[in-house]
Amino acid sequence: MNTLPLWFCLGTTSPKPQNDRLQFRLVGYPRKHNEGRIEVFYKGEWGTICDDDFSLSNANVLCRQLGFVSATGWTHSAKYGKGLGKIWLDNVQCNGGEKSIELCKSRGWGNSDCTHDEDAGVICKDERLPGFVDSNVIDVRHYNGVEEVRLRSVVPTKKMPVTEGVVEIKYKDGWAQICDVGWTPKNTRVICGMLGFPHERKVNKNFYKLNTERQKHQYRLHSVACVGTEVHLAACPLESNKGNATGSCEGGMPAVVSCVPGPQYVQNNGLKKKQLKTSSTVRLKGGAKLGEGRVEVLKNNEWGTVCDDRWTLLSASVVCRELGFGSAKEALTGARMGEGMGPIHMNEVQCLGTEKSMWNCGFKNITSEDCQHLEDAAVRCNTPYMALENSVRIVGGRTYYEGRVEVQVGARWGTVCSASWTTKEAMVVCRQLGLGYSMHAITETWYWDSSNVTEMVMSGVKCTGSEMSLSHCQHHKTVSCQKTAAKFSAGVICSETASDLVLNAPLVQQSVYIEDRPLHMLYCAAEENCLSKSAASANWPYGHRRLLRFSSQIHNIGRADFRPKAGRHSWVWHACHGHYHSMDIFTHYDLLSSNGTKVAEGHKASFCLEDTECHEGISKRYECANFGEQGITVGCWDLYRHDIDCQWIDITDIKPGNYILQIVINPNFEVAESDFTNNAMKCNCKYDGHRIWLHNCHMGDAFSEEAERKFEKYPGQLNNQIS
Q: Can you tell me the mean pLDDT for 522-544? A: 88
pLDDT at 126 over 70: yes
Segment 129-163, tens digit of pLDDT = 765 555 555 544 444 557 789 999 888 777 889 99
Burial class (CB in 10 A: 0-12, 13-18, 19+), 411: exposed
* The pLDDT of residue 553: 94
Q: Can you tell me the mean pLDDT for 119-124? A: 94
d(CA 224, CA 220): 11
Average pLDDT value over all residues in the chain: 84
Same domain, 93 and 113: yes
In a domain, 276, yes or no: no
pLDDT top residue among 538 and 20: 538
Rg of the Cα atoms in the chain: 29
In a domain, 680, yes or no: yes
Nearest 10 degrees: Cα torsion 563, 568, 427, 492: -140
d(CA 723, CA 284): 10
* The pLDDT of residue 720: 32
Q: Can you tell me the mean pLDDT for 223-249? A: 82
CATH code of the domain in which 32 resides: 3.10.250.10
d(CA 166, CA 175): 11
Q: Can you tell me the mean pLDDT for 474-488? A: 87
Q: Can you tell me the mean pLDDT for 360-378? A: 84
Is residue 430 helix, strand or coil? helix
In a domain, 369, yes or no: yes
Here the contacts of 33-36 (C-beta below 8 Å, separation 24 or greater) are: 33/6, 33/126, 33/308, 33/332, 33/333, 33/334, 33/336, 34/68, 34/123, 34/124, 34/125, 34/126, 34/334, 35/80, 35/121, 35/122, 35/123, 35/124, 36/5, 36/80, 36/121, 36/122
Same domain, 328 and 450: no
- Written as one string, the DSSP assignment of 592-617 is E-TTS-EEEE-----B----SEE-TT
* The pLDDT of residue 721: 29
Question: Do the beta carbons of residue 164 and residue 151 sit within 8 Å?
Answer: yes
Same domain, 221 and 349: no
In a domain, 508, yes or no: yes
Same domain, 408 and 366: no
What is the 8-class DSSP label of residue 562? B
Residues 6+ apart with CB under 8 A from 419: 459, 460, 481, 482, 483
Q: Can you tell me the mean pLDDT for 671-683? A: 90
Question: Which residue among 229, 260, 291 closes a domain?
Answer: 260
In a domain, 162, yes or no: yes
* The pLDDT of residue 6: 36
Domain count across the chain = 5
In a domain, 275, yes or no: no
Q: Can you tell me the mean pLDDT for 250-265? A: 92
Q: Can you tell me the mean pLDDT for 510-523? A: 94
Same domain, 247 and 316: no
Q: What value, to the nearest 5°, has the Cα angle with vertex 445 and ends 440 and 448?
A: 105
d(CA 701, CA 686): 22
* The pLDDT of residue 307: 92
* The pLDDT of residue 272: 45
- Nearest CA to 394 among 353, 441, 461? 441
* The pLDDT of residue 579: 66
pLDDT at 2 over 50: no
Q: Can you tell me the mean pLDDT for 583-602? A: 87
Q: Residue 428 belongs to what H/E stretch?
A: helix 423-432
pLDDT tier, 706 (very low <50, low <70, confident <90, very high otherwise): very low
* The pLDDT of residue 1: 40
pLDDT tier, 698 (very low <50, low <70, confident <90, very high otherwise): confident
Same domain, 489 and 522: no
pLDDT tier, 189 (very low <50, low <70, confident <90, very high otherwise): very high
**Considering only 308-317, 327-336, 622-631, which range has the smallest mean pLDDT?**
622-631
* The pLDDT of residue 410: 86
Residues of the domain holding 468: 389-495
Same domain, 664 and 520: yes
What is the pTM (predicted TM-score) of this model? Answer: 0.74
* The pLDDT of residue 392: 95
Same domain, 550 and 564: yes
Q: Can you tell me the mean pLDDT for 630-647? A: 91
pLDDT tier, 472 (very low <50, low <70, confident <90, very high otherwise): very high
Question: Do the beta carbons of residue 144 and residue 238 sit within 8 Å?
Answer: yes
Q: Can you tell me the mean pLDDT for 23-40? A: 82
Q: What value, to the nearest 5°, has the Cα angle with vertex 10 and ends 9 and 15?
A: 135
How many residues does this entry show for the chain?
A: 723
What is the 8-class DSSP label of residue 319? H
Question: Which residue among 462, 495, 528 closes a domain?
Answer: 495
Same domain, 70 and 116: yes
pLDDT at 560 over 60: yes
- Cis check: omega of the bond before 30, within 30 degrees of 0: yes
pLDDT at 450 over 90: no
- Nearest CA to 314 among 354, 364, 286? 354
Segment 286-300, tens digit of pLDDT = 998 899 999 999 998
Q: Can you tell me the mean pLDDT for 515-537? A: 89
**Considering only 257-271, 328-342, 371-385, 639-653, which range has the smallest mean pLDDT?**
257-271
Instruction: Tell me the percentage of the chain whose pLDDT exceeds 90.
Output: 50
Instruction: Tell me the percentage of the chain whose pLDDT exceeds 70.
Output: 86
Same domain, 556 and 467: no
d(CA 349, CA 359): 9
Q: Can you tell me the mean pLDDT for 3-26? A: 47
* The pLDDT of residue 242: 60
pLDDT at 16 over 50: no
Q: What is the 3-state secondary structure (H, E, C) of 143-185?
A: ECCECCEEEECCCCCCCCCCCEEEEEEEECCEEEEEECCCCCH
Segment 51-93, tens digit of pLDDT = 999 999 999 999 999 888 899 999 999 998 888 889 999 999 9
Segment 43-62, tens digit of pLDDT = 888 899 999 999 999 999 99
pLDDT at 379 over 60: yes
- Nearest CA to 131 among 198, 39, 69, 220? 69
pLDDT tier, 25 (very low <50, low <70, confident <90, very high otherwise): confident
- Nearest CA to 633 among 611, 613, 612, 665? 611
pLDDT tier, 18 (very low <50, low <70, confident <90, very high otherwise): very low
pLDDT at 643 over 70: yes
d(CA 697, CA 302): 12
* The pLDDT of residue 368: 59
Same domain, 518 and 650: yes
In a domain, 131, yes or no: no
Question: Do the beta carbons of residue 251 and residue 679 sit within 8 Å?
Answer: no
Amino acid at position 105, single letter = K
Same domain, 469 and 506: no
* The pLDDT of residue 273: 44
pLDDT at 353 over 60: yes
Is residue 667 helix, strand or coil? coil
d(CA 635, CA 617): 9
Residues 6+ apart with CB under 8 A from 84: 116
In a domain, 480, yes or no: yes
pLDDT tier, 708 (very low <50, low <70, confident <90, very high otherwise): very low
Q: What is the 3-state secondary structure (H, E, C) of 320-343?
A: HHHCCCCCEEEEECCCCCCCCCCC
